[in-house]
Structure 1
């Protein structure tokens, strides 16, 4: 086994999966129009304005931080634990002389003062940790750095017949093809995936993921315990209502 692969397998999947150049090759095909629609949604429903200090937690390649900066939100900060993903995010060109701000940090221990953020975003990254207590700690840390009345915008995949569908699928991108085998464990409410990516240069990398899916009711309860009050829920970034069949749960919550 290659030394770097052995090291990666000793790390939690949410660290190991985002090492090196592989993540960029696997995920670089994200649709910029979708990024714009997501930012449009939160600007509208959270009433964001450029003077606000906005934290984009678990920002990955910084797509949303970049888009906010491009629109004049020069106090937006992207936060992530992966140095490789942040290096790619920071290497992207700025707009009109402004470059996005990025910071490497663990979302369970953010290096910000209490009540220092006007708004917090946490997109497609909740439920990754091993226990529900750790997930709650993330929400509590978001509440700590948010000022009273600040809004949190997040999205999550609620468990239903569509989101917990098991089987094998193939994801093809411009530089890599990933085969994903997914299983669902109702006892732990975790969606588990084993994946294998073949890159253009012929190398193959195995990796895995495991995410806890929260029902809207349980997510609301966790947010309440952390210090947030749910302000609105949606079934997608088109503003559709949240239903039992929604494959996405978009939440706007206010810091109490």
Structure 2
């Protein structure tokens, strides 16, 4: 690793949350936990990597044009950069954590000028619950979500997908990257299995619950439930993020197209 990159990496780690702060967050509710973590969230591994955002933006540029865009569960706003690249009009970030939204508003991009000299779309932040989105019907052409899947239990997905469909115009897209699961027996497999198992034990003995799991969004189930909610589903490989040994992509962009009623 080059020296400059190493120093940057160490500096980011030093600015991140301490083990004690992470423990306090883990014993809180989801909303309060993210309020606590918000000031240091962008210095954790939980923030969506720029490589994923860049690959998503590339894929979406071939699927537009789009006018208004929604970043669902936007957190500190990293994903809104994708919408501001591909949407011509308004970009909205929605999240239920006031702390995360405050960080997004404080650190989000200012002004409306693109690097290429064009005009950026307007940007706004809204506090709201993804289970009951605070928008009218058919407001957006594109909805994206990054890194929030684990906060929704499998039984909550149909309601979530119905909410997203309601705020999209006919033909609008709901897009999110979905990584291929690690192969059984690998270090990543045991790591995610261990995390989910520990979280289930934590939620069985401690209140309030903290819902965050890594293995609850299998592609086959997600595709089936999107279709049941009224979406046509296509998959778009994100080759920039690498290939598995069998040549399949490590990550795909799942794209649900809102079908007519």
Q: TM-score, normalised by structure 1?
A: 0.69
Secondary structure, counterpart of 2:36 in structure 1 = coil
Give the gaps of 5 or more residues in structure 1: 168-181, 195-206
- 1:78-137 deviations in whole A, cap 9, x for unaligned? 1112222211111134133766211111111100111221111122322422x3121221
> What is aligned with 1:165?
188
Paired position in structure 2 for 1:151: 173
Tell me which of 7, 14, 19 is aligned to 2:36. 19
Residue 223 of structure 1 is matched in structure 2 by 226
Off by >6 Å, runs of 4+ in structure 1 = 2-5, 239-244
User: Does the Cα contact within 8 Å between 1:147 and 1:255 map onto a contact in 2?
Assistant: yes
Partner residue in 2 for 1:95? 111
CA contact (8 A) 1:112 1:145 kept: yes
Tell me the SS of whatever aligns to 2:129: coil
Aligned to 1:40: 58
Q: Deviations over 1:177-208 (max 9, x none)?
A: xxxxx3417xxxx84577xxxxxxxxxxxx99
Q: For the residues of structure 1 that align with 2:47 and 2:228, how far apart are their CA atoms?
A: 37
Q: Residues 56 and 6 of structure 1: is their aligned pair in 2 closer, same or farther, counting only changes over 3 Å? A: closer
Q: Find the residue that maps to 1:135 and give its secondary structure.
A: helix
TM superposition shift of 1:220? 0.9
Shift of 1:245: 5.1
Given that 1:128 and 1:211 are in contact with CA atoms closer than 8 Å, whether structure 2 keeps it comes out as no
TM-score by length of 2: 0.68
Q: Match of 1:223, SS?
A: helix
Q: CA RMSD in A?
A: 3.8
Q: Pick from 54, 74, 88: which aligns with 1:73?
A: 88
1:214 matched to 2:217? The reply is yes
Deviation at 1:240, TM superposition (A): 8.5
Report the Cα offset of residue 29 of structure 1: 7.9
Is 1:63 the equivalent of 2:78? Answer: yes
More helix, by proportion: 2
CA-CA distance at 1:156 after TM superposition: 1.9
Once the two structures are TM-superposed, the CA of residue 10 in structure 1 deviates from its matched residue by 3.7
Number of equivalenced pairs: 219
